[in-house]
Structure 1
Amino acid sequence: MLLHQTRLPMSAQTANLDEQNIAFWNELCGSNQARVLGIADASPASLKKFDDWFLSFYPYLFLHIPFEELKGKDVLEVGLGYGTIAQRLAESGARYTGLDIASGPVEMANFRIRQAGLEGQAVQGSVLKAPFPDESFDMIVTIGCLHHTGNLQRALDECYRLLRPDGKLMVMLYYAYSYRRWEQARSETLRYWFRERFGYVGPVKPLSDAEKWDYDHNEKGQAAPHTDFVSVRSLRKMTSKFSSFSYRRENINTEPPFQKWSSRRELLKTKYPGIVGLEIYATLTK
């Protein structure tokens, strides 16, 4: 994939957040769980052990990422984590490109691709100034990444720029009206609800690290440098340039007010994830 320098300016504030994100996300997302699983290397057996856990813990990913339809298509993944999705996309026959702000996930994705004898390449860079020409991709997959950039609107706009006509964006973002937000930050969530009714369009940023910690934290116990939450209402308006928009809420845990459930697996089968789930999975067509 041909790289090019973006023309968009970058503010000092954005540059500072980028540096914080590079430092934080250089530790692979999923590292805490890998330690719980006893994974200490990147052998095929160890990576399969992690992937089996990951894909069973998030079974609904197969509803949102059309792996079986991607053969021969140019696919960009933004935010690479432990590389599970990167390897699956490459295995699907897609012409795979990965993008991550930190070097650790890029190295893991490229290692997986080489180790498995697959085609594709991941590069380091920010989606806020994505180093690719206009209309480079048929599909973009980005799970749990754009809400950490500090500029969700610009990140979505860059995805739009990078897609070809009729190309699709599959994005996961944290839901502003999830049960957890109502439980942990009720007054903030209520203010956001009223602001939206009076015309505000955009995400809401949590006021404390404690609110972010349950979503993302590293080995040192630090929360992610920046996290946004967004509603379906605002996300639909922020992506109004796209020709179609569909979504589904997903994910739930056995925590207040659902602590009485015996297992997350059973809770996932109920109606609650679709109403007050932690995440929005949206598919948009350019």
Structure 2
Amino acid sequence: MKSAAHFVKVLIVFLVLKNNMQTTKISEKNAVYWDELCGSNIAKVLGVTDSSIASLKKFDDWYFDYYPYLFDHIPFAEMPNKKVLDIGLGYGTVAQRLAESGALYTGLDIAQGPVSMVNHRLSQCHLAGNAVQGSILSPPFDPGTFDYVTAIGCLHHTGNLQLAIDQCYRLLKPGGRLIFMVYYAYSYRRLLTSPILTLNYSMKECFGYHGVVGESSKKQSAAYDASAEGDLAPHTDWISARSLKHFCRAFSSVNATTENIAQERPFQKRSREDLLKTKWPSIVGLDIYATATK
């Protein structure tokens, strides 16, 4: 019996160390991959060729027009004098809007490129705040520091979604809120492109599984994130609202809704503007937007 118990302990330690090594490798790859600003492909289409105020405004106007529901989830009007940590900075659109709202702004990103962009935005617009390079899996901040944490479209790339959420919880003050977006496992795109994986995931959840879908094919991942050269994100997770709420079980309350839809199969005959007015995004939308209160 003692030998069996010892074997189990050794196995657990081995699995933990293996998982930590895998997560570290993903973080290293993320630091390189996301150095190219998320949204760079769209910026080229829009004709954004520099980082001047006028050029960035062109990008920001497109961004908020394309994702109008962001204002339903991020309470910018409540941000003045609140300590806000913004994770996953991309082109810095949300970062600048948070700083403009009067938030006591701090940005965090695994890659240097987005950090430099946000600090450039803040400087040229004479806004207070600062962005630093680091990982939410091991954040360089004290517990209970922030009133809000925002993370739009990044936690599912960390390689450890549960740990990322747990760290956000740790950084929040009591009553603080985590506002974040992750990819939805049961979106129309997943149902069409990954029916077997989606069915398997559904069956696992029926038997009590709480977690992410896991790795998918390169083709399936490419439908979500790809660099200008066509390279794919080092890691991507998809999750259901049910499993996401389980991941947020330490919080006192969690609200989750689905958003986003594209003019693609099976909706290619309607404009995205019209599609956003239908109920489809709230049923099989691409993304889950969640607010978790500590």
TM-score normalised by length of structure 2: 0.93
Question: 1:5-154 to 2 correspondence within 5 Å?
Answer: 11-154=20-163
- Equivalent-residue separation in structure 1 for 2:236 and 2:146 (angstroms): 26
Gaps of 5+ in 1: 1-8
Q: How far is 1:11 from its partner?
A: 2.5
1:267 maps to what in 2?
275
Larger Rg: 2
Question: 1:206-245 to 2 correspondence within 5 Å?
Answer: 206-245=215-254
- Equivalent-residue separation in structure 2 for 1:223 and 1:258 (angstroms): 25
Q: How far is 1:207 from its partner?
A: 2.2
Runs of 4+ in 1 over 3 A off after TM superposition: none
Q: How far is 1:223 from its partner?
A: 1.2
Q: How far is 1:114 from its partner?
A: 0.5
1:4 maps to what in 2?
none
Question: Secondary structure of the residue that 1:127 maps to in structure 2?
Answer: coil
Question: Secondary structure of the residue that 1:99 maps to in structure 2?
Answer: strand
Q: How far is 1:205 from its partner?
A: 1.9
Q: One-letter code of the match for 2:42?
A: Q
1:197 maps to what in 2?
206
Gaps of 5+ in 2: 1-16
- Equivalent-residue separation in structure 1 for 2:22 and 2:257 (angstroms): 33
- Alignment coverage as a number of residue pairs: 278
- Equivalent-residue separation in structure 2 for 1:130 and 1:99 (angstroms): 8
RMSD: 1.2
Q: What CA deviation, in whole Å up to 9, does each residue of 1:180-219 have, x standing for no partner?
A: 0000000000000000111111111232111111111101
1:155 maps to what in 2?
164
1:277 counterpart = 2:285: yes
- Give identity over the alignment, percent: 58
- Equivalent-residue separation in structure 2 for 1:246 and 1:65 (angstroms): 13
1:167 maps to what in 2?
176
**Match among 186, 194, 197 for residue 195 of structure 2:** 186
Q: One-letter code of the match for 2:178?
A: L
- Equivalent-residue separation in structure 1 for 2:216 and 2:93 (angstroms): 32
Q: What CA deviation, in whole Å up to 9, does each residue of 1:46-81 have, x standing for no partner?
A: 000000000000000000000000100000000000
Question: Secondary structure of the residue that 1:187 maps to in structure 2?
Answer: helix
Moved more, 11-20 or 46-55: 11-20
Moved more, 238-247 or 169-178: 238-247
Question: Secondary structure of the residue that 2:137 maps to in structure 1?
Answer: helix
Q: Which structure carries more helix by proportion?
A: 2
Q: How far is 1:19 from its partner?
A: 1.2
Question: Secondary structure of the residue that 1:188 maps to in structure 2?
Answer: helix
Q: How far is 1:256 from its partner?
A: 1.2
- Equivalent-residue separation in structure 1 for 2:86 and 2:109 (angstroms): 8
Q: What CA deviation, in whole Å up to 9, does each residue of 1:82-123 have, x standing for no partner?
A: 000000000000000000000000000000000100000000
